[in-house]
């Protein structure tokens, strides 16, 4: 399946919700109060959040007050351009770092958000692109976590540094960094334990991991990415806020967009925190982690061909 098909398949639920609201107003030259409510509800249902929903409504109302503006898919175009504007600058890109010390990418997030799976998929993606990767299994909290990661790594031919169950996560990170340095790996990916963002002791463990890494490399981890389940709605935003405040995030990976998710949560997180989105999880296969693309995202949510806006 091509990249765009994956986006499209993954985001089909959100797309269907938006489509039904747009179908309702298709070909209309004026909108009723009920039409506006239907549009508002669709944007809410897709987890775009209140601010973005309000912006969309405001622009749709404005457009509907202008003659001819609603013809030829006008409402779709208005909504799409509002989202496009909010998402401008949101694409994170991981640059190739050959020949320097390992770039550390630390994946953090609550339990079950997809960190371990993302770690493996990302390792696969990076090696496929011709860079070398080392993985640190820093989730020493759950007994099965290291096994899960090793299982993936075997399948994808990736190297993992791990510790004993219950050992110090920061020590594993330190060892993994040493290994990555010795093997001249381009990237070191750190899988960490799932933690409740309200639990301070687990946050302290992350802070320690960072401190210990910095003994080796003051700039590490160069990337601190939150892995957030895209189907958790507004909860994802509150998680992101707390992790950002405590840990200083500089990237997002939004997973499970192929599940029950309606796809809008990433807009509300980006809008609020301005943290670039690097990858989307669009399924459970190794190549289901895809670089985030605003264009593909919007094309998947608003699948109809675009007509020019009669501005
Ligand atoms: N459908 C789907 N499932 C995912 C995705 N990412 C992770 N998962 C599943 O979510 C569950 C939890 O993932 P895991 O990586 O163990 O989460 P962790 O606790 O954050 O390490 C696993 O069953 C994964 O297969 C995704 O993008 N799509
Ligand atoms: Mg895990």
Specify the pLDDT at position 311. Answer: 37
Nearest alpha carbon, ligand 1 atom 12? 112
Q: Ligand 1: which residues within 6 Å by Cβ? A: 109, 111-117, 194, 227, 255-256, 258-259, 281-284, 288
Placement of tokens 């094309």 in the chain: 299
> Which pLDDT score, from 0 to 100, does residue 27 have?
74
CA angle 282, 288, 291 (to 5 degrees): 80
Q: Which atom of ligand 1 is nearest to the CA of 142?
A: 19
Residue-wise DSSP of the chain:
--HHHHHHHHTHHHHHHHHHHHHHHTT-SS--HHHHHHHHHHHHHTT--HHHHHHHHHHHHHHHTSTTTTTTTHHHHHHHHHHHHHTTT-B------TTSSPEEEEEE-STTSSHHHHHHHHHHHHHHTT--EEEEEE--SSHHHHHHHHHHHHHHT-EEEE--TTS-HHHHHHHHHHHHHHTT-SEEEEEE----TT-HHHHHHHHHHHHHHHHH-TT--SEEEEEEETTSTHHHHHHHHHHHHHH---EEEEE-TTTT--S-HHHHHHHHH-PPEEEEE-SSSGGGEEE--HHHHHHHHS-SPP-----
Query: Which residue has a Cα nearest atom 19 of ligand 1?
Result: 112
**Would you write out the chain's pLDDT as a tens digit for each of its 311 residues?**
677 788 888 899 999 999 999 888 877 778 889 999 999 999 999 999 999 999 999 999 988 887 666 665 678 888 999 999 999 999 999 987 766 789 999 999 999 999 999 999 999 999 999 999 999 999 998 878 899 999 999 999 999 999 988 889 999 999 999 999 999 999 999 999 987 655 667 778 889 999 999 999 999 999 999 999 999 877 889 999 989 998 899 999 999 999 888 899 999 999 999 999 999 999 999 999 999 999 999 999 986 654 444 43
Q: Which ligand is nearest to the CA of 120?
A: 1
Q: What is the pTM of this model?
A: 0.93
Angle at 192 between CA 237 and CA 251, to 5 degrees: 45
- Which atom of ligand 1 approaches the CA of 121 most closely? 6
Separation of 49 CA from ligand 2 center, angstroms? 28
Question: Which numbered atom of ligand 1 lies nearest the CA of 255?
Answer: 27
Instruction: Produce one character per residue of 172-198: b if its CB has 16 or more CB atoms within 10 Å, e if not.
Output: bbbbbbebbeeeebbbbbbbbbbbebe
- Return d(Cα 77, Cα 202) in angstroms, integer: 45
Ligand nearest, relative to CA of residue 117? 1
* Best residue among 284, 287, 290 to mutate for probing ligand 1, ranked by most atoms within 8 Å of CB: 284
What is the pLDDT, as a whole number, of residue 79?
92
| Residue labelled with tokens 């499209």 | 8
Q: How far apart, in whole angstroms, are the C-alpha atoms of residue 97 and residue 247?
A: 24
pLDDT reported for residue 308 = 42
The CA distance from 232 to 254, in Å, is: 10
Q: At residue 30, what are phi and psi to the nearest 5 degrees?
A: -145, 155
- State the first-to-last Cα distance of the chain, in angstroms, to the nearest integer: 37
In the chain, what are the domains? 3-90 (1.20.120.140), 103-298 (3.40.50.300)
């Amino acid at each position: 399946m091509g990249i765009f098909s994956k986006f499209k398949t993954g985001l089909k639920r959100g797309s269907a919700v938006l489509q039904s609201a747009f179908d309702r107003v298709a070909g209309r030259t004026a909108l009723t109060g009920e039409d506006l409510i239907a549009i508002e509800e669709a944007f809410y249902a897709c987890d775009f959040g209140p601010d973005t929903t309000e912006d969309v409504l405001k622009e749709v109302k404005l457009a509907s007050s202008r003659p001819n503006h609603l013809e030829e898919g006008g409402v779709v175009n208005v909504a799409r351009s509002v989202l496009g504007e909010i998402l401008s600058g949101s694409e994170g890109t991981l640059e190739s770092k050959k020949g320097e010390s390992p770039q550390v990418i630390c994946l953090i997030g609550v339990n079950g958000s997809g960190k371990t799976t993302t770690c493996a998929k990302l390792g696969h993606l990076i090696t496929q692109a011709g860079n070398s990767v080392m993985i640190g299994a820093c989730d020493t909290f759950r007994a099965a976590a290291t096994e899960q990661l090793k299982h993936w790594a075997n399948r994808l031919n990736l190297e993992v540094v791990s510790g004993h169950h219950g050992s110090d996560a920061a020590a594993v990170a330190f060892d993994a960094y040493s290994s990555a340095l010795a093997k001249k790996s381009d990237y070191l990916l750190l899988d960490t334990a799932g933690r409740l963002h309200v639990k301070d002791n687990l946050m302290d463990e992350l802070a320690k991991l960072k401190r210990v890494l910095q003994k080796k490399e003051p700039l590490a981890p160069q990337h601190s990415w939150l892995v957030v389940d895209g189907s958790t709605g507004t909860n994802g935003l509150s998680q992101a806020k707390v992790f950002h405040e405590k840990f200083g995030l500089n990237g997002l990976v939004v997973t499970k967009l192929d599940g029950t998710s309606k796809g809008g949560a990433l807009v509300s997180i980006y809008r609020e925190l301005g943290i670039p989105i690097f990858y989307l999880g669009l399924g459970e296969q190794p190549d289901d982690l895809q670089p985030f693309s605003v264009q593909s995202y919007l094309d998947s949510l608003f699948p109809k061909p675009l007509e020019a806006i009669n501005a």
